[in-house]
Amino acid sequence: MRGAHGRPGSRATTGRAATNRRRRLPAAVAATVAGECEVLPGLEPFVVGELERVLGGRARVDSGAERGAVRFAYSGSLGALLRLRTPVAAYLVARFQGRRPSALLGDERLFAQVETVRGLHPAGAFGSFRLSVPGRESSAVRRLVEELRRRTGLDYDPEDGELLLRIRRAADGWETPPSRRPWWS
């Protein structure tokens, strides 16, 4: 999953290759989304330049991100994010209120976000997912895993899952940037 920066295969419209076509994105792609690029430390200025060059005025880089990350707000087609090459990975970011990861179960945004990322890739590109989350063995996380399996039809592979969902604590709850590592391969 890591390091491959090539584009997916043929975009033919007939025959077997037709199954490799990208899914249509939800209509709401024009809304502003929060994003984060995972970056090798020291390459942050290059990623900022690439965001400005590739996404133009549709991306606004946020100041104050931690080392190894570039945060931004973006309004435009999410498919354009697939043209980024310098970041290790790119994530969509959403914040959720709540003390435990189980708070995510009652919020449809997490599941919509997962489907948005899946929609950027050919059908069947993901056969499994994995979580990077505090309390990975807790009952709340086990319930979240089961709900993700049920809703997505993907297998849970905690070590080698193809779709990575990073869930981390935020000041007022949780933050979830799901992504393939890297999501443009």
Give the residue-averaged pLDDT of 85-101. Answer: 85
Cα-Cα-Cα-Cα dihedral sign, residues 46, 52, 54, 58: positive
What confidence tens digit (pLDDT) does each residue in 2-51 have? 333 333 333 333 333 333 334 444 434 458 889 999 999 999 999 999 99
The whole-number pLDDT of residue 180 equals 42
Listed in sequence order, the residues at least 6 apart from 64 whose beta carbon sits closer than 8 Å to its beta carbon are: 71
How far apart are the C-alpha atoms of 174 and 170, rounded to whole Å? Answer: 5
What confidence tens digit (pLDDT) does each residue in 114-167 have? 898 899 989 999 999 998 888 888 898 999 999 999 999 999 999 999 998 888
The whole-number pLDDT of residue 174 equals 79
The whole-number pLDDT of residue 162 equals 92
pTM, to two decimals:
0.71
For the chain, list the domains and their CATH numbers: 94-185 (3.30.2300)
The whole-number pLDDT of residue 25 equals 44
